[in-house]
Amino acid sequence: MDIARIEAIPSVKPRVFLEDMGCQMNRLDSEIVLGKLHQAGFQRVETTDDADVVLYYTCSVREHAEDKVFGRLGSLKRLKALRPELVIGVMGCMAQNHKERIFERAPHVDLVCGTSRFEDVVDLLEEVRHGERVLAVDRRELKFDRDISVRPRRFQAFITAMRGCNKYCTFCIVPYTQGRERSRPVSELLDEARRLVDDGVVEITLLGQRIDTYGQDQRDGTNLALLLHRIHEEVPGLLRINFITSHPNFMTDELAATIADHDRISRYLHLPVQSGSERTLKAMNRGYSVDEYRAAVARMRARVPDLAIATDWIVGFPGETEDDFAASVALQRELGFHGSFVFKYSPRAGTRAAELEDDVPRATKEARNQVLLAEQSAMSLAQHTARIGLDLEVLVEGPSKRNAERSMGRTRWNEIVCFPAREEAVGRMLRIRIERTTALTLHGQPI
């Protein structure tokens, strides 16, 4: 046991620095970690220099976030040499993905904690305090007993409706880092939503990798439509209910009807398509054809004509030709998406696609990325321009990032609206008359 280390760690109000990178689920999990640490008496600090414990909570869907963390770990080496008592931890999907390889690449890391053990962070840090290097990546049942009071915005919260993914798209690491699909019971989610509302929340976002498969693992007829309906009816304090992310194979009439019939469910669907090429979709194991994707969109729009559908694209998947890419561009135009998140393919070790040659040059990936973004930008500008002159309900979120004299909020279609600052209205609905727009942001005046 390393005595010097134990004594060097202050026993009162240890200070923790936590940085999260990546998807919403990693973000929520990192909030849950902060909640646990808060309850155990830790104090959050803003710089690594001030910290006794430095944690990186990281997603591993793309190479970029992981590279960033390895970079951060590299620059912590000096600090650790100066203060050997400093505890450094890597958590989340990245930890689950690399396991002990993180210790090999960054020997000054003390804790590697994966996606089934983050709730035990306090005990794990205690083990580290006793001089051990800790690897916690075994699979356990999560308890979901979060401290709901810890969250970045008072009136907004994420809720994990389900974890894991059974789809195994060939490019995707998530099934390996998050495991099989497990849905939480409706009663537990209702209870969490109610407690959040009692604590000031008016907007929730239900999270799941394929949120529209919610309930399938329970085999009792529960599904996303029923869950949304019950939250809508039984938690009246909510002004807006969002859910992400959807897979095209589960766009049912029942789900469409539920969105249409429930006022406070947002009219925003995140429905990744990934590619418009039949061949590429097959190689990705997405489980639908281009026509089936079209049909899913049509089914939802038939019942909810104003539904805003945003999508994800991967450019430069192995073997993607100019023709494959042209099919993506054509589909993007045809379906008139309200948002496109474009990702340049990066191989993730352990996935099936990683066995294929990553043969699309980086410059080509970048060029294709720009084409889809430019096309989306033009479509978004046209969609936004059609909003000019309308009075839209906007849920106020806070100050605009670019201009402190303005506030920003979102419509039920997930559009960003900026208007003269109304900080007293944060967390409330305002009616805003839209006066002008860019591809990214609507601008208007409260009425």
For residue 316, the minimal CB distance to ligand SAH (Å) is: 8
Select from ligand SAH, ligand F3S, none the partner in contact with residue 167, using the beta carbon and a kind-dependent cut-off of 5 to 8 Å.
ligand F3S
Among 355, 348, 363, 249, residue whose Cα is nearest residue 315: 363
Interface segment toward ligand SAH; rule CB under 6 A; list 14-22, 231-239, 256-264, 341-349: 341-349
Between 240 and 348, whose beta carbon lies closer to ligand SAH? Answer: 348
- CB distance 272 to 245 below 8 Å: yes
Q: What does the DSSP assignment read for 391-437?
A: EEEEEEEEE-SS-TTEEEEE-TT--EEEEE--GGGTTSEEEEEEEEE
What is the number of residues in the chain?
A: 447
118 part of the interface to ligand SAH, by CB under 6 A = no
172 part of the interface to ligand SAH, by CB under 6 A = yes
293 part of the interface to ligand SAH, by CB under 6 A = no
- Give the residue, chosen from 268, 343, 413, 419, that forms a contact with ligand SAH under the rule CB under 6 A: 343
Select from ligand SAH, ligand F3S, none the partner in contact with residue 312, using the beta carbon and a kind-dependent cut-off of 5 to 8 Å.
ligand SAH
Between 120 and 320, whose beta carbon lies closer to ligand F3S? Answer: 320
Among 81, 105, 85, 80, residue whose Cα is nearest residue 95: 105
Select from ligand F3S, ligand SAH, none the partner in contact with residue 229, using the beta carbon and a kind-dependent cut-off of 5 to 8 Å.
none
Classify the phi-psi angles of 433: left when phi > 0, otherwise alpha if psi is within -120 to 50, otherwise beta.
beta
Cα–Cα dist 137/153, whole Å: 30
For residue 300, the minimal CB distance to ligand SAH (Å) is: 17
Paired residues of 383 in beta bridges: none
Select from ligand F3S, ligand SAH, none the partner in contact with residue 80, using the beta carbon and a kind-dependent cut-off of 5 to 8 Å.
none
The residues that touch ligand F3S, with contacts defined as CB under 6 A, are 165, 167-169, 172, 174-175, 209-210, 247
216 part of the interface to ligand SAH, by CB under 6 A = no
Among 243, 204, 249, residue whose Cα is nearest residue 224: 243
Select from ligand SAH, ligand F3S, none the partner in contact with residue 175, using the beta carbon and a kind-dependent cut-off of 5 to 8 Å.
ligand F3S
Between 210 and 368, whose beta carbon lies closer to ligand SAH? Answer: 210
Give CA 255 to chain center in angstroms: 22
Cα–Cα dist 204/157, whole Å: 5
Q: Identify residues 51-90 at the interface with ligand SAH (CB under 6 A).
A: 61-62
The secondary element (H helix, E strand) that includes residue 136 is strand 134-136
171 part of the interface to ligand SAH, by CB under 6 A = yes
Classify the phi-psi angles of 157: left when phi > 0, otherwise alpha if psi is within -120 to 50, otherwise beta.
beta
Between 61 and 239, whose beta carbon lies closer to ligand SAH? Answer: 61
**H-type helices in 87-198, by residue range?**
93-98, 101-105, 121-129, 174-178, 186-198
Between 328 and 437, whose beta carbon lies closer to ligand SAH? Answer: 328
- Give the residue, chosen from 115, 205, 213, 245, that forms a contact with ligand SAH under the rule CB under 6 A: 245
For residue 275, the minimal CB distance to ligand SAH (Å) is: 9
For residue 69, the minimal CB distance to ligand F3S (Å) is: 20
**Number of residues this chain uses to bind ligand SAH (CB under 6 A):** 16
Cα–Cα dist 170/287, whole Å: 11
Among 432, 329, 443, residue whose Cα is nearest residue 384: 443
The secondary element (H helix, E strand) that includes residue 27 is helix 24-39
Select from ligand SAH, ligand F3S, none the partner in contact with residue 384, using the beta carbon and a kind-dependent cut-off of 5 to 8 Å.
none
272 part of the interface to ligand SAH, by CB under 6 A = yes
Name the one residue in this structure whose structure tokens are 């640490």: 37
Q: Which amino acid is at 345?
A: Y
Select from ligand F3S, ligand SAH, none the partner in contact with residue 348, using the beta carbon and a kind-dependent cut-off of 5 to 8 Å.
ligand SAH
42 part of the interface to ligand SAH, by CB under 6 A = no
For residue 161, the minimal CB distance to ligand SAH (Å) is: 11
For residue 347, the minimal CB distance to ligand F3S (Å) is: 14
Q: Helix, strand, coil % (nearest 5) of the chain? A: 40, 20, 40
- CB distance 337 to 311 below 8 Å: yes
Residues that bind ligand SAH (CB under 6 A): 61-62, 171-172, 174, 209-210, 245, 272, 274, 312, 314, 343, 345-346, 348
